Amino acid sequence: MLTESMLKCFMAVAETLNFTKAAEGLYLTQQAVSRNVSALETELDMKLLSRDTHSVKLTPCGEIYYQNVRRLMNEYIQIVGELRSQFNESKAMLNVGIVDSPDFYRFQGAFHDYQKLQPDKFALKVILDPPDKLQEKLLDGELDAIVTMDCFITEHSKMEYKSLEQTIMKLCVSENNRLYEKGKDWKHYAKEPLILQKDAGKNIYDTDNFMHAMVDNLNLKPSAIILMSDMSKLEKLVEEGRGVMLCLEENPFFIDESIEMLDILDTPVNYVLARQKDTDAESLLKTKKLYQYLSQWRPTDLNEKEN
């Protein structure tokens, strides 16, 4: 039987491509994570991960399964929120948007647990969108709050926010890159072509505006920004040394030994919960309580305890 524990373990491994990191994030042993993933593969009769002593990769089947489970989990949260709002009039609705990002699964897990626990007795409706669309919906009154990155909130945006967590950005550089030198500062590659995915269903770089905003925020001045929708072609370009790739520390796309990930330590990405400055008292109270929960949430809140 398919269990929530199987799905959580698989999603964590799919996001990190590392059983040890997945286990640490879930507060489980590596053996427990491996056992759950193997049980899921047996249940589905599909090989989702290709793993050896040095690396973990999603199989083509695993990549498709991951993307669809990711989408369905978000739809599940939204459907439950709508049903609770429709059939339980005592529950108020809180409309929240989440930025489409590699760290999305962690916030999704927090919302999923919050929906189950219902500490404040109101339903959640969660929307997944790029940051520009989230801000439009927030300012138009369609959303009560959004989880986004602080670099997209300007002082004139009529929004205020509180930080949730910080993530380090990295550049992926191949040893085949003409400028490749171990130990070199990432700024050494600041004028190299920057290769980013555009496929909306697969990663954060969903809009041209989003990509250029991230590049500006990092003070990168690449000679070109190459938009790709095919992950395999993107990897091939970077591995051949035709450019570099921007990614988050928790979501490295490359595990090839020829790829070096350079820390951009002076420019972290700050994830925040934002709302309108002039929000009404009821929405303000609900978003404050949600912030308190998100800022304290850990993956162990509702995880099944290991026997």
DSSP string, 205-220: --SHHHHHHHHHHTT-
Output the pLDDT for position 40. 93
End-to-end CA distance of the chain, in Å?
18
Same fold? 4-58, 166-268? no
Output the pLDDT for position 250. 57
Domain ranges of the chain: 4-58, 69-165+270-296, 166-268
Residue with tokens 């978003």: 287
CATH no., domain 166-268: 3.40.190.10
Indicate the CATH number of 69-165+270-296 among 3.40.1520.20, 3.10.20.30, 3.40.190.10, 1.10.10.10: 3.40.190.10
Output the pLDDT for position 204. 41
Which two three-digit tokens encode residue 260?
A: 């070096």
Euclidean distance between CA atoms 187 and 29, whole angstroms: 38
DSSP string, the chain: ---HHHHHHHHHHHHHS-HHHHHHHHTS-HHHHHHHHHHHHHHHT---EEE-SS-EEE-HHHHHHHHHHHHHHHHHHHHHHHHHHHH-TTSEEEEEEEE-STTHHHHHHHHHHHHHH-TTSEEEEEEEE-HHHHHHHHHTTS-SEEEEEGGG--TTSSEEEEEEEEEEEEEEEETTSTT--TT--GGGGTTS-EEEE--TTTSS--SHHHHHHHHHHTT---S-EEEES-HHHHHHHHHTTS-BEEEETT------TTEEEEEEEEEEEEEEEEEETT--HHHHHHHHHHHHHHHH--TTSSPPPP-
Enumerate residues 6+ apart whose C-beta is below 8 A from 305.
Answer: none
Output the pLDDT for position 42. 92
Output the pLDDT for position 203. 41
Output the pLDDT for position 38. 92
Output the pLDDT for position 91. 58
Euclidean distance between CA atoms 234 and 246, whole angstroms: 12
The pTM of this model reads 0.59
Euclidean distance between CA atoms 147 and 135, whole angstroms: 10
Contact in structure between 186 and 171 (CB atoms under 8 Å)? yes
Q: Residue 149: count other Cβ atoms within 10 Å of its Cβ.
A: 22
Which two three-digit tokens encode residue 84?
A: 């609770």
pLDDT values of the chain reduced to their tens digit, one per residue, 307 residues: 788 788 888 988 888 888 888 887 776 788 888 999 999 999 999 999 988 777 888 898 998 998 888 778 777 766 766 666 566 555 567 888 887 665 566 677 788 777 777 655 667 788 877 777 888 888 888 888 888 888 777 777 788 888 887 777 888 888 898 888 877 788 888 888 888 766 544 444 444 566 666 777 777 788 888 877 676 788 788 888 888 888 776 555 555 677 888 888 777 778 888 888 877 777 777 788 888 888 877 655 444 433 3
CATH fold, domain 4-58, is: Arc Repressor Mutant, subunit A (1.10.10)
Residue with tokens 């626990």: 117
